[in-house]
Amino acid sequence: MGYRFLEDFSIADVVFEVDSKTLNGLFGYASDALVNTLIKNVKDIKLKNKKSFKVNGDSLDLLLVEYLNRLIFYKDTEQLIFREAVINVEKDSDSWRADCDLRGEKLDPKRHEMSVDVKAATMHMLKLEENKSGWSARVVLDI
């Protein structure tokens, strides 16, 4: 259970897969994969800032993309990156909603080992499904 980066397609971008026993955990691992694309030493992110927000999506896979794109928005506008995510995904009449509480800090080039910037989470080859062991998803990040 966790995330791994794939080598064999979308060669100009970064592709990851996540597995989790729970849907909430899946969203948490997905944000870890995003942050680990941005910097190498994720464990060194201090828990100095909090961010709480809600995102909505017509389907679960689009909700995941919306969630990741919100994190990219905070990275671009407030320089925030996150290490801890508490997510609660729920059905909201015809669509899905995620209540998100994240903790992290501002990017610091002196302490964070920068990797590559991410412009967006995309819908390309997007997959999110329930399986025997829980949930899995695949996301392509635009670099």
Partner 1 sequence: MDFNKPKFSRISDTIWEINKTFKEGMLVPARMYATEKLLKEMDSQVFDQIANVASLPGIQNYAFGMPDAHSGYGFPIGGVAAFDINRGGIISPGGIGFDINCGMRLVLTDLTVDQVRPRIKELTDSLFKSIPAGVGSQSKIKLTKEDFKEIATLGSAWAIKKGYGWKEDLKVTELNGSADWADASKISDKAISRGIKQMGTLGSGNHYLEIQYIKPGFINDRKLAKKWGLFDGQIVIMFHCGSRGAGHQIATDYLSSFLGVMERKYKIKVYDKELACAPFDSKEGQDYYKAMACGVNISFFNRQLIMNKIRDSFSDIFKKDPEKLGMYQLFDVAHNRASLEKHQVDGEMKDLLVHRKGSTASYPSGRKEIPKTFIKDGSPVIIGGSMETGSYLLVGSENAKETFDSTAHGSGRTMSRTKAKKIFNGQELFKKMLSNGIYVKSASWSGLAEESGESYKDLEEVVNSTELSGLSRRVCKFAPIGNVKG
Q: Would you tell me which residues interact with partner 1 (CB under 8 A)?
A: 5-15, 38-40, 69, 72-73, 75-77, 79, 81, 107, 109, 112-117, 119-120, 122-126, 140, 142-143
Distance CA 43, CA 46 (A): 8
- The smaller minimum CB distance to partner 1, of residues 103 and 112, is found at 112
Cβ nearer to partner 1, comparing 8 with 94? 8
Paired tokens of 64:
């995941």
Cβ-based nearer residue to partner 1, 47 or 114 = 114
Give the nearest distance from C-beta 5 to partner 1 in angstroms.
5
Minimum distance, C-beta of residue 133 to partner 1, in the bound complex (Å): 22
Q: Is 78 or 92 the residue whose CB approaches partner 1 more closely?
A: 78
And the tokens for 19?
Answer: 């597995």
CB 97 within 8 A of CB 123: no
Three-state DSSP state, 5: strand
Give least dist CB 142 to partner 1, A.
6
State in angstroms the smallest separation of the CB of 130 from partner 1.
21
Among 43, 68, 48, residue whose Cα is nearest residue 57: 68
Tokens representing 23? 């849907």
Nearest to 55 by CA among 72, 80, 77, 33: 72
